[in-house]
Structure 1
Amino acid sequence: MKAPLLRKGKTKSLLESSIDCALLAVEIYNKPRAPFRVESFITHMIMAWTRLFQAHFNFTIGETYFYKGNNGRYKIIDGEKKAWELKTCIKEYGQLSNPVKTNLEFFIKLRNKIEHRTIDKDEVGLTIFGECQALLYNFESELTKLFGEDYAMNESLAYSLQFSKLRTSQQKEASKQLLSTEYKDLVDFIKKYREHLRDDIYNSQEYSIKLIQIPKIANTNKNDLAVEFVNWNSLSEEDKEKYDQLIAIVKDKVIKLEGANIGKLKPSKVLEEVNKSISFKLTHHDHKQLLCVFKIRPYADFNSNGDAFDTNPNYCHYDEAHNDYLYQDEWVAFLIQLINQKRLTKDEWKENYNQKKILKVDDYK
């Protein structure tokens, strides 16, 4: 599609606002002492993407990117028409690759989780740096695709300076912080989201940029730039092999097992194991009630947010390929202990289930 020639008007205003949001996101992220760096980056980048799509829709289909009620009239919020949020924009646009769409969906969900917490998120930022970098790269790529190279932001951005020793100490401290209970929910979410991605999506640079920073010993030309970015997709197969050899020298070794769902239990197997060790028979309905009150997995009729992956990963995970849930041995052990030590009776968990009350697993260990 030929890049549109924009003059004054709503499309240009939305586009400029989108670019400003992205630039502000980067500016905040690259300030070491700025509070809520990661939270602000995610929030502003989601605003940037939303306004980019709105600019595109405004230019192509006019002011129809708003929600309508059953009566056909626009929905009004605080006197303004309610525009499509980012999730709907992605669906209506329908032209993003799977890795780009998966990256955006990750940040939409993470933004919703971070918004309701007051903890410092910098440690989480170190964990998701690759996704953050891809979010920015994808934005500029889509920006120039829709509106042309004149709107590219690369001339406005600077490469962030790094303290190598401080970075190492920060990463060590982050590892300790991420083990604390305050961060557990966010880390569990990130881990679950990544584990359920197909390898081709996770390994894509459009989902997560993987960077290795190695000093250049010498330049081939004294006029060369100090920092060079290599577009992986533009490399020849021979050059890719050379980079793979380089990466093998410096990267951490990661071993992936080919087996899937090893050691995981189906609900019937959970009941079979539990019933061997308790004095009464636990039924599938009993099991559902316990899964609900301890929020082990989502159920449509019990405080569900519609996210199939919203499980407690210590006890359960969602198997996307088979569209069902599998359980850990730890869940069996927890149920046996819960029932035999009478920490929660059947009448009590039934009452909590009927009242849609959530209990904390840690309170009953």
Structure 2
Amino acid sequence: MARPPRWQATLDASVEEACLAVRLYNDSAESRAFESFVVHMHLAWLYLLHAEFIRDGVDYRYWDKNYKRRLLKVDGEPKMWELERSMRERWPGEADPIRANLALFIRLRNRLEHRHAHADEALILNLAGHAHALLVNYEAELTEQFGENQSLALRLRLPIFVGTFTPQGEQALRRFRKTLPSDIRSFVTQYESGLDEATISDSRYEFRIRVVVELAPKDPDAIAMQFTRYSEMSDEERKTVEELGRRGQVITRDRKQPVSGLGRLMPKPAAAAVQAGIPFVFNLNHFTAAWKRQAVRPLKDAPDPHHTNSDFCEYDEPTKSYRYTKAYVKYLIKHCSTVEGFKETTGMLPRAKVAEAQNLVE
């Protein structure tokens, strides 16, 4: 049986934190539901990004600026990137709506902890769309990076809630929204004033949805809540949705279907990707020499073909072939970018691309 990849424990911890965050958020008896949701989603995102870094071979430890080979430590353990630093690594662009949403909750957590206990319900009403987007973005990142089998949909249930309110109840909710502490209200207003309108309107920053009770006959294959793609609607249906959208939004998200070998590379494309990222010629011979020297996978006809370095390589049973991860490509690019690194990784002397091109011309 193949060993679990090194990132699996970190990813499992992330999913557990996300599930706990949702459970606390949906618990009407929880007095600090929103604060608990923010804290545990903070950890869920942190562990998720760290799992990606482990898989991709990204060093997310802090190093001492005065001593390049000395790690910064906290209580004897290496200091790791916090969520904000991890977020900047994953989404370098400040205008990215996912980053904007996540940054809002990072700053909000610092303000909420141990304060505003009486305003928890008001926070839920005012920031429900932002909180929903935080969770939807997490689900998208989780499944796109690690596959559909990791989806929270396999672990969470659809919560039961009051779908309609009397006019008096709706007015009471609107009045209750105004009880949000002024400093928190000002904080959100000031934060959004620095964002582009396109970012604020993006569902990945604030998720808004209008729910309409279905009056059609029940479909035996349908689930309780379904989403309809805008592209699949008739012109008349689109017109109706757009009219509803003036007071709210109907959002759908395409999901990738399970695909065998998703995100994996065969040897030739992997070698080409490495060559594109380094100043030297890198072909299949170099690629083969590299995986042999590092014992990334067993040799041909080995008794246990599954015994691979799971961070870098996977054995495909139906085709009896090996597929390589993007993390391994990044690893090779990093270690083969210098003459010494190339020699150590492949056991061969590097040949510059410029020299290769000159030989072709001659």
Query: TM above 0.5, one fold?
Result: yes
State the distance in 2 between where 1:28 and 1:167 align: 27
Which residue pairs with 2:78 in the alignment?
A: 81
- 2:54 corresponds, among 58, 65, 69, to 58
The alignment-based identity, stated in percent, is: 27
Contact 1:126 1:171 in 2 (8 A): no
What are the superposed Cα offsets for residues 69-127 of structure 1, whole Å, 9 maximum, x if unpaired?
12121111122111101111112223787111111111111111111414231211111
Query: What SS does the corresponding residue of 1:218 show, helix, strand or coil?
Result: coil
Output the CA distance in 1 between the equivalents of 2:133 and 2:112: 19
Choose which of 4, 19, 23 in structure 1 pairs with 2:15.
19
How is 1:197-346 mapped onto 2 (pairs within 5 angstroms)?
A: 197-219=195-217, 221-231=219-229, 235=232, 238=235, 239-248=237-246
**With structure 2 as the length reference, what TM-score do the two structures score?**
0.60
Q: Does 1:32 align with 2:13?
A: no
Deviation (angstroms), 1:192? 2.2
Distance 1:220 1:177, change over 3 A: closer
In structure 1, distance between residues paired with 2:87 and 2:232: 30
**Who is 1:302 aligned against?**
none
Q: Could you tell me how far apart the structure 2 residues matched to 1:126 and 1:61 are?
A: 40
Q: How many residues align?
A: 244
Query: Runs of 5+ in structure 2 lacking a partner?
Result: 250-362
Give the C-alpha shift of residue 220 in structure 1.
Answer: 6.0
Q: Which has the higher contact order (CA 8 A, sep 6+)?
A: 2
Query: Which range is displaced more, 22-31 or 221-230?
Result: 221-230
Alignment of 1:82-161 (within 5 A): 82-94=79-91, 98-120=96-118, 121-161=120-160
Which whole-Å CA distance do the structure 2 matches of 1:201 and 1:47 have between them? Answer: 24
CA contact (8 A) 1:124 1:187 kept: no
Which consecutive unaligned segments of at least 5 residues does structure 1 have? 1-5, 253-365
- Paired amino acid for 2:23: E
Instruction: Confirm or deny: 8 A CA contact 2:98 2:137 kept in the other structure.
Output: yes
The Cα shift of 1:60 comes to: 1.1
- Please report the TM-score for the alignment, with normalisation by the length of structure 1: 0.60
Q: CA RMSD in A?
A: 2.9
Q: Which amino acid aligns with 1:27?
A: R
2:116–2:181 contact (8 Å) kept in structure 1: no
Q: 2:45 aligns with which of 29, 43, 49?
A: 49
Confirm or deny: 8 A CA contact 1:25 1:45 kept in the other structure: yes
